[in-house]
Amino acid sequence: MPTTARVARIHEYGPPEVLRFEDIVVGEPGDDEALIRNTVIGLNFVDVYYRRGSLPVPAFPAIIGDEAAGVVEAVGKNVKNVGSAATLIPFSAKRSAYSDMPSFSSQSAICCIAALPTRTRASGSLSDKFSAQ
């Protein structure tokens, strides 16, 4: 099932020009992962910190972006909590929202109500970031 995904990634820290749009091959999801086709990607100022190097990325090239929502395309053999065509909002330390087909641990994602529009479902995941502490 290898397929091609369009990603925005960095190969070094720096100004906006270091962000490159590239096609990469995406394989099968891991045993405990769900492969998601992102339909909504959130832009967050923390992504600027990753691009600049104020916050480190684990390795280069790095796909940045923390916020997205999408539809499950495939699941690994151990995944029982989500099925294909479910809408997920992934929460993961594995930054890769700037990809149209990232894989995420199925344990670090929230399944959403399909009746709501995708943008509404995705915006619900941001509510904790706007609450006063």
- Domain 3-126 indexed as CATH 1.10.10.10: no
Instruction: Say if CB 40 and CB 70 are below 8 A apart.
Output: yes
Pairing type for strands 62-63 and 3-10 reads antiparallel
Q: Give me the residue spans of the domains in the chain.
A: 3-126
pTM score of the predicted model: 0.73
13-30: pLDDT as tens digits: 999 999 999 999 988 888
Per-residue pLDDT band for 94 (boundaries 50, 70, 90) equals: low
Query: Residue 32 and residue 39: Cα distance in Å, rounded?
Result: 22
36-76: pLDDT as tens digits: 888 888 888 889 999 999 999 999 999 988 877 778 888 88
Q: Whose CA is closest to 106, among 31, 34, 38?
A: 34
